[in-house]
Copies of this chain bind each other. A is one copy, B any other.
């Protein structure tokens, strides 16, 4: 399978470039019978839409989704769900030297070496707009997960050096940086204002918590639940690191401190602590699943940078145009989407793990 698809039972395939006619996704293998309309998806797309604060690109896109197939009489039919968003605000400008210059920190050089050519308009396929398909697919998977009692909730944990120190769930959607901490959000905004002033950009960390996943989900070897989550998150443009549970801190801990003891609570087996982040040996342990992604600073900055062009000449460039000084807040919904897709796929996969399940299913 070529590289624009993800998932085994539910396979999503994204397509589209930043300045092409449209972007979209095909979701194959999604079960029949989920109530679904465009509004269910639009809510998610609106969360990643540009132009919502001064910290995001001012590109004006409605990002209206159209369901092209797979839904009939308000429900999914089991056939591929094709979703499309038209590009509207493709500035038909002269790309000038950007067209044949390799921007530092971008995928330009790699694309050129790989394919021998590239769609240089707005980053082409490597643009953040590629995530539209992911978010649209994630909205649908998240809806199914909710029917199973599973919630996926991501938020900005830090921007630059500013980290949250408290967690108010409702606060996340009230500030421009998606932090569940009003005080930290204000500090982060000040940090970003300084970045903008310096013609510079910032990175940060997004954390995602998934509640309600039962124990026993995930495959034990290469498709460990955390291995697939790691692929899912690192496959997002600017992600340079990922952690599950205590992550890198676990490397400094000891077995005694890091092991989560099991106990009985309310007739159920639970863990006393959650250093594992809800996954042990690649399989969910019934606790909250906790993952984090490190996002690098936006590579497009307006100050002068030194680089090389396609002719092999050294040049200096200034990148003008509409850029996010930080993409972390907009990445929050993308990370939610990827977690939802990954977990939804693993939930379906588990249903055939035991002969007793199969016999029960086919018993009549």
Q: Is the CB of B69 within 8 A of A23?
A: yes
Q: How far is the CA of A353 from the CA of B1 in the complex (A)?
A: 14
Contacts of A8 in B (CB 8 A): 1, 8
* A268, closest chain B residue (CB): B312
Q: How far is the CA of A237 from the CA of B244 in the complex (A)?
A: 13
Contacts of A217 in B (CB 8 A): 114
Contacts of A160 in B (CB 8 A): 251-252, 254
What's the tally of chain A residues with a CB closer than 8 Å to chain B? Answer: 168
| Top 10 closest pairs, chain A to chain B, by CB | A107-B281, A2-B29, A3-B219, A110-B283, A113-B216, A3-B223, A201-B255, A32-B115, A105-B259, A231-B231
| Given A31-B353, A261-B104, CB of A297 within 8 Å of CB of B109 | no
A129 CB, min distance to chain B CBs, angstroms? 11
Selected contact of A264 from candidates B149, B243, B294, B312, CB within 8 Å: B312
| Given A104-B261, A215-B110, CB of A353 within 8 Å of CB of B32 | yes
Contacts of A353 in B (CB 8 A): 31-32, 78, 114-116
Contacts of A17 in B (CB 8 A): 69-70, 72, 77, 79
Q: Is the CB of B244 within 8 A of A21?
A: no
